[in-house]
Amino acid sequence: MAEAMGFFTDTTVCIGCKACEVACKSWNQLPAREGGQPEMSGDSYDNTVQLSGTTWRHVKFIEQFDSPYNGRWLMMSDVCKHCVQAGCIEVCPTGAIIRTEFDTVVIQSDVCNGCRACIAGCPFGVIDMNPVSGTAQKCTLCYDRMGVGLEPACSKACPTDSIQFGPIDELRRRAQTRLEQLQSQGETRAQLYGADPDGPVGGLNSFYLLVDEPEVYGLPSQPKLPSRNLASSTVGSTIGAAVMGAVGLVTLRKRRADEVAEAERGGAPRA
Amino acid sequence: MPDTFFTTPPDWQWWIILYFFIGGIAGGSFFIATLLYLLGRPSDRPVVRLGYYVAFIGAVVSGLLLIVDLHRPFRFWHMLVESNTGQLMFKSWTPMSVGSWGLLLFGLFAGLAALSAAREEERVRWGPAFVVTSGFRTVVAIVGGILGFFLAGYTGVLLSVTNRPVWADSPMLGALFLISAASTAAATLILLARRRSTADTVSLGKLAEFDKWTLVVELVAIVAFLITLGAAARVFLSVWGVLLVVGVIGAGIVLPLAMGLGWVKRWTDRPVMAAGLVLMGGFLLRVVTLLSSEQVHIAGSRVITP
């Protein structure tokens, strides 16, 4: 297996230019929404609003203002996290979602049948349907470009190096250095999200430097695998089946029939 | 806010709601038929046969509903066979994969049981002779009954093994769907059996008794479901909560239970009315469970709830 590759996104240097969104759309030939009609969210400079099957990069704009002159913008270029333990791979019933030699997660569009289990299984709300292909789609971390030694289109286009691409171990070192720099400058809210390989879902191969709580960025604080519920829910169902079997045993058996018949004839049912 | 709220809805809507409802009735009908076959009297046979017919028709319709719901329906077979290697596709840790095989096998056994029942009634004259033998019937009843239990409950497990609000926030959904499948199946059999003159009153009485106690268990299960939801229960502080309390619990469980216990004597044909209410409640349970979760999504960095 080749070296694990990924993204480190330093949100503190994102300027919201959306070059990553454009580069992603352009390289991956993703269709426009609503036939290219301009759509405004109406409450933000963020008109993309969310990741989807046709938008694999999305720059979030978070406004934190007490007054028109006191506040800050948080900007974050969101993308598939390429989880080390991926919920989408877990729940995919067709084997369409695979882990590549770069330790990234890719949906094979020719295998996917559009059941949408991966959409429900993703802890980050990344995956969605592409209405053109009729399959679930998301960032491939430019698997085709990586295969020929090129870096992904989004990080290539990023003018501030907010999106950095490279081997995961190297990116973690860079992220740690940047975190210590920010903290030494008094930004005590700075934190890495998904950089810990011992953290939730085994760490993220696309991780972030944030300067507020994850929820502020629309990220779950403790992302989890869908399979966490498999044992408990199966046990619950089995107990339910046992109880129903017992109810059936009591109410449907022959002796019970005799009691019902007796009751219908006017006699009191036996205890 | 629970972590499950930071996710995207899979757009599992009316086809899936119908599948959960009809598949539940199919699975429930088979295991009720199995219990009646193993524990009942010869005069229960008309209801047993009816259960097999309902199970078979329900299995076929379920399969069609699932295929129609796929965005690439002609690739439905990818659930069963790896499209690029030709090997069998089976993931024991993935409820949708196990469910695909479960539904296929259930359909097979429901078909065999229905064929056996049709031969017994001389509705058909084709098929191998062994399908009417006692040993064959017993094997089909036991295996199909187990698969019926599975089909009735795995849909709730499938929802739990996701990261979506409500579905993944309680371990009770599998049990709740299974119990609801039992009550809606009993109600279906009561309604259909009353239309067929072959079913005797004792069999109908047993079904009504089974449904009554199933509703008691369902009431306990739905309360446990709501308690275990924790903070995710906030989804029901909306029209979905009203529908859950009034439609599912009130009209779909408590009222037919009160009728079964003889506490409500307003209507002349109470068993039919009660069975109809149970079916409506079972359907609404699935509507509320799926659509309440479907309405939670992310817009920008904000979570939108119903």
- Position A270 scores a pLDDT of 38
Q: What angle do CA B205, B257, B196 make, to 5 degrees?
A: 35
Instruction: Say whether B1 and A239 touch across the interface (CB within 8 A).
Output: no
Which chain B residue's Cα is nearest to A218?
B301
Instruction: Say whether A236 and B217 touch across the interface (CB within 8 A).
Output: no
Residue with tokens 């081997």: A167
Q: Extract the tokens encoding A106.
A: 């890719």
Average pLDDT over residues B108-116: 96
- Residue B284, SS3? helix
A239 near B CB under 8 A:
yes
Name every residue whose Cβ is closer than 8 Å to that of residue A182 and which is 6 or more positions away in sequence: A12, A190, A209, A211
User: Does the structure show a pLDDT above 60 at A269?
Assistant: no
- Position B195 scores a pLDDT of 81
Minimum-distance CB partner of A229 among B168, B182, B201: B168
Minimum-distance CB partner of A113 among B41, B72, B206: B72
Strands A97-99 and A105-107: antiparallel
Q: Residues 29..68 of B with a Cβ closer than 8 Å to A: which? A: 31-32, 35-36, 39-41, 44
- Position B235 scores a pLDDT of 95
Rounded to the nearest angstrom, the minimum Cα separation between B126 and chain A is 32
Q: Extract the tokens encoding A24.
A: 């992603």
Specify whether the CB–CB gap between B156 and B107 falls below 8 A. Answer: no
Average pLDDT over residues B65-72: 98
Instruction: Say whether B301 and A127 touch across the interface (CB within 8 A).
Output: no
- Position A271 scores a pLDDT of 32
- Position A268 scores a pLDDT of 42
Q: How far is CA B266 from the centre of its chain?
A: 30
User: Does the structure show a pLDDT above 60 at A267?
Assistant: no
pLDDT digits (tens, 9 = 90+) for B228-257: 999 999 999 999 999 999 999 999 999 999
Quickly count helices (H) and strands (E) in chain B: 9, 2
H helix intervals, chain A: 19-28, 87-91, 117-121, 143-147, 153-157, 168-184, 230-252, 254-264
- Position A2 scores a pLDDT of 81
Q: How far is CA A259 from CA A252, B36, B267, in A?
A: 11, 16, 25
Average pLDDT over residues B279-292: 98
What values do phi and psi take at A181, rounded to 5?
A: -60, -50
Rounded to the nearest angstrom, the minimum Cα separation between A63 and chain B is 10
Q: Extract the tokens encoding A37.
A: 């009609």
Minimum-distance CB partner of A237 among B73, B97, B153: B153
Quickly count helices (H) and strands (E) in chain A: 8, 10
**Alpha-carbon Rg for chain B in angstroms:** 20
The DSSP output letter for B198 is: T
Distance CA A77, CA A51 (A): 10
Mean predicted lDDT score pLDDT of chain B: 94
H helix intervals, chain B: 14-39, 45-69, 95-120, 134-160, 173-195, 201-229, 239-242, 255-260, 270-294
Specify whether the CB–CB gap between A227 and B158 falls below 8 A. Answer: no
Minimum-distance CB partner of B299 among A50, A232, A256: A50
Q: Extract the tokens encoding A56.
A: 């694999």
Length of chain A: 271
Specify whether the CB–CB gap between A207 and A194 falls below 8 A. Answer: yes
pLDDT digits (tens, 9 = 90+) for A33-57: 878 888 888 878 888 999 999 999 9
Q: How far is CA A138 from the centre of its chain?
A: 10
Q: Residues 230..289 of B with a Cβ closer than 8 Å to A: which? A: none
B154 near A CB under 8 A:
yes
pLDDT digits (tens, 9 = 90+) for A209-229: 999 999 999 999 999 999 999
Q: At what angle do helices B134-160 and B173-195 cross, to 10 degrees?
A: 130
Q: How far is CA B303 from CA A49, A124, A136, A177, B1, in A?
A: 12, 12, 22, 32, 9
A90 near B CB under 8 A:
yes
Q: How far apart are the first and last CA of chain B?
A: 14
Question: For A228-233, which contacts have Cβ atoms below 8 Å and span 24 or more sequence positions?
Answer: A229/B157, A229/B160, A229/B161, A229/B168, A229/B171, A230/B93, A230/B95, A230/B157, A230/B160, A230/B161, A232/B160, A232/B171, A233/B156, A233/B157, A233/B160, A233/B161, A233/B171, A233/B173, A233/B174
Rounded to the nearest angstrom, the minimum Cα separation between B128 and chain A is 31
pLDDT level of residue B299 (50, 70, 90 thresholds): confident
- Residue A103: Cβ-neighbour burial (10 angstroms; 0-12, 13-18, 19+): middle
Q: At what angle do helices B14-39 and A230-252 cross, to 10 degrees?
A: 40
B218 near A CB under 8 A:
no
- Residue B140, SS3? helix
Rounded to the nearest angstrom, the minimum Cα separation between A184 and chain B is 28
Which chain A residue's Cα is nearest to B200?
A261
Average pLDDT over residues A9-27: 97
Mutate to test the interface with A, among B34, B101, B162, B190 (most CBs of A within 10 A): B162
Specify whether the CB–CB gap between B296 and A47 falls below 8 A. Answer: no
B201 contact residues in A (CB cutoff 8 A): 264
Instruction: Say whether A249 and B82 touch across the interface (CB within 8 A).
Output: no
- Position A255 scores a pLDDT of 63
- Position A156 scores a pLDDT of 97
Residue with tokens 């959904």: B173
Which chain A residue's Cα is nearest to B165?
A120
- Position B51 scores a pLDDT of 97
B90 near A CB under 8 A:
no
Q: Extract the tokens encoding B130.
A: 């062994």
Sign of CA dihedral A176, A180, A182, A187: positive
Which chain A residue's Cα is nearest to B209?
A251
Task: Give strand ranges (E) for chain B.
Answer: 297-299, 302-304
Distance CA B181, CA B160 (A): 17
B8 near A CB under 8 A:
yes
Q: What is the value of ipTM here, to two decimals? A: 0.94
A125 near B CB under 8 A:
yes
Distance CA A82, CA A77 (A): 15
Among B256, B25, B253, B234, which Cα is nearest to B148's? B25
Q: What angle do CA B157, B76, B19 make, to 5 degrees?
A: 45
CATH number attached to the domain at A5-224: 3.30.70.20
User: Does the structure show a pLDDT above 90 at B133?
Assistant: no
Strands A206-210 and A5-10: parallel
Q: At what angle do helices A254-264 and A230-252 cross, to 10 degrees?
A: 50
Q: What is the percentage of chain A residues whose pLDDT exceeds 70?
A: 93
Which chain B residue's Cα is nearest to A131?
B71
Q: Extract the tokens encoding A144.
A: 């085709």
- Position B201 scores a pLDDT of 83
pLDDT digits (tens, 9 = 90+) for B205-223: 999 999 999 999 999 999 9
- Sorted by where each starts, the structural domains of chain B and their CATH numbers stand as 3-304 (1.20.1630.10)
Average pLDDT over residues A66-95: 95
Q: Which residue has the higher pLDDT, A205 or B125?
A: A205
Q: Extract the tokens encoding A27.
A: 């390289």
Specify whether the CB–CB gap between A112 and A136 falls below 8 A. Answer: yes
Average pLDDT over residues B191-203: 82
How big is the A-B interface in CB pairs under 8 Å? 250
- Position B171 scores a pLDDT of 94
pLDDT level of residue A264 (50, 70, 90 thresholds): low
User: Does the structure show a pLDDT above 90 at A93?
Assistant: yes
- Position A44 scores a pLDDT of 81
Q: Extract the tokens encoding A73.
A: 């913008």
pLDDT digits (tens, 9 = 90+) for B69-85: 999 999 999 999 999 89
Specify whether the CB–CB gap between A4 and A205 falls below 8 A. Answer: yes
- Residue A208, SS3? strand
A177 near B CB under 8 A:
no
User: Does the structure show a pLDDT above 90 at A82?
Assistant: yes
Q: Which amino acid is at A102?
A: F
